[in-house]
């Protein structure tokens, strides 16, 4: 099977989800990358993850790249006939995949947690009802199959190192569609580990009671070298920014340890953190659904338990 992975450059390196998808793609067949970026280091890194060929699209500063990227990939598809193109569930990847789907008149299956080849038919797994049910979708449309996968569905591991053949690909003129301009980019200021990459996450829910109490999460996270996360209830209340939201409409995380404080365990939250290594829940309600997925649970008032933990950690 001829598998392509769309990979965007992020801070001079391949976006982490791109490396996860490359790792999966190696299990499915011969791997090529459509790389939206320019850093040479990133290209070498793609080779370390098994990319045999790279189609390189160098974005122009200030231009939103998706329309041009989709048009370029559509041209490459007719010349190279890939069987499957994998995208990550990110803003740019989704933008490109949707436009490519329209250009090629092929379906796109999104939100995938797994993808495999069943006798040459691309079959995609998606989770519904908070991961309690799995849906298998066989893509019987003409190739290429277009699949968008959730971050953290696969663990990124280098392997089958190659020195990829790099082909520079020009952005075709897409007229009006390609005229959207980037007028400003704001990088969110943050301290400590990034939520998506953190080994330990301390997450707070509505049980905190008020915005000021989120400081307890920050203090505990500080002791553990952890990142802080939150539920949508907390984000909607304006206690913390959206960047901290874990769940269906927030981030998907997979730390070694996830500490859920005052979080009920609604399925929309669980879907974003249930694959964490060890889940520790602190909740005063012994029947809270979070305890169904927790490895360790403390039934108690977080306003008493968390300060004790902070104290014990010195």
Note if the bond before 305 is cis, omega within 30 degrees.
Answer: no
Shorter beta-carbon distance to ligand FAD: residue 174 or 219: 219
b/e map 151-190, b = 16+ CB within 10 Å:
bbbbebeeeeeeebebeebebeebeeebeeeeeeeeeeee
Q: In angstroms, what is the minimal distance from the CB of 171 to ligand FAD?
A: 34
Q: In angstroms, what is the minimal distance from the CB of 273 to ligand FAD?
A: 9
Shorter beta-carbon distance to ligand FAD: residue 34 or 282: 282
Q: Which two tokens stand for residue 312?
A: 């014990």
Shorter beta-carbon distance to ligand FAD: residue 62 or 238: 238
Ranges assigned E (strand) in 129-240: 133-139, 145-149, 165-168, 200-204, 227-230
Shorter beta-carbon distance to ligand FAD: residue 153 or 231: 231
- Chain residues binding ligand FAD by CB under 6 A are 205-207, 231-234, 245-250, 262-264, 266, 268-269, 272, 282-285, 288, 301-303
Q: In angstroms, what is the minimal distance from the CB of 200 to ligand FAD?
A: 18
Residue nearest to ligand FAD (CB): 247
Shorter beta-carbon distance to ligand FAD: residue 106 or 303: 303
Q: In angstroms, what is the minimal distance from the CB of 272 to ligand FAD?
A: 6
d(Cα 301, Cα 134) in Å, to the nearest integer? 35
Shorter beta-carbon distance to ligand FAD: residue 257 or 266: 266
Q: In angstroms, what is the minimal distance from the CB of 4 to ligand FAD?
A: 30
Ranges assigned E (strand) in 198-273: 200-204, 227-230, 257-261
Q: In angstroms, what is the minimal distance from the CB of 260 to ligand FAD?
A: 8
Q: Which two tokens stand for residue 246?
A: 């874990």
d(Cα 19, Cα 185) in Å, to the nearest integer? 24
> Cβ neighbours of residue 230 under 8 Å, at least 6 residues apart?
203, 204, 205, 214, 217, 239, 240, 244, 245, 246
* Residue pair 108/141 in contact by the 8 Å Cβ criterion: no
């Amino acid at each position: 099977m001829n598998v392509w992975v769309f990979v965007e450059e992020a801070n001079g390196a391949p976006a982490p989800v791109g490396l996860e998808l490359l790792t999966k793609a190696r299990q499915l067949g011969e791997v090529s990358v459509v790389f939206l970026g320019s850093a040479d280091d990133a290209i070498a890194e793609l080779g370390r993850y098994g990319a045999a060929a790279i189609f390189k699209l160098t974005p122009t500063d200030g231009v939103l790249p998706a329309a041009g990227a989709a048009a370029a990939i559509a041209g490459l598809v007719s010349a190279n006939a890939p069987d499957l193109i994998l995208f990550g569930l990110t803003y740019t990847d989704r933008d490109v995949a949707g436009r490519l789907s329209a250009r090629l008149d092929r379906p796109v299956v999104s939100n995938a947690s797994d993808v495999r080849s069943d006798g040459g038919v691309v079959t995609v797994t998606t989770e519904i009802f908070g991961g309690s049910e799995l849906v298998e979708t066989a893509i019987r449309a003409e190739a290429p199959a277009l699949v968008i996968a959730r971050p953290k569905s696969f663990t990124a591991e280098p392997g089958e190192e190659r020195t990829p053949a790099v082909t520079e690909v020009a952005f075709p003129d897409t007229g009006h569609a390609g005229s959207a301009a980037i007028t400003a980019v704001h990088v969110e200021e943050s301290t400590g580990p990034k939520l998506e990459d953190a080994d330990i996450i301390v997450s707070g829910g509505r049980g905190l009671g008020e915005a000021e109490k989120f400081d307890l999460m920050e203090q505990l996270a500080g002791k553990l070298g952890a990142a802080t996360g939150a539920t949508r209830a907390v984000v909607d209340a304006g206690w913390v920014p959206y960047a901290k939201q874990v769940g269906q409409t927030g981030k998907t995380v997979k730390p070694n340890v996830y500490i859920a404080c005052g979080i009920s365990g609604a399925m929309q939250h669980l879907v974003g953190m249930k694959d964490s290594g060890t889940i520790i829940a602190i909740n005063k309600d012994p029947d809270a659904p979070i305890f169904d997925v927790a490895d360790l649970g403390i039934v108690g008032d977080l306003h008493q338990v968390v300060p004790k933990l902070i104290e014990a950690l010195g």
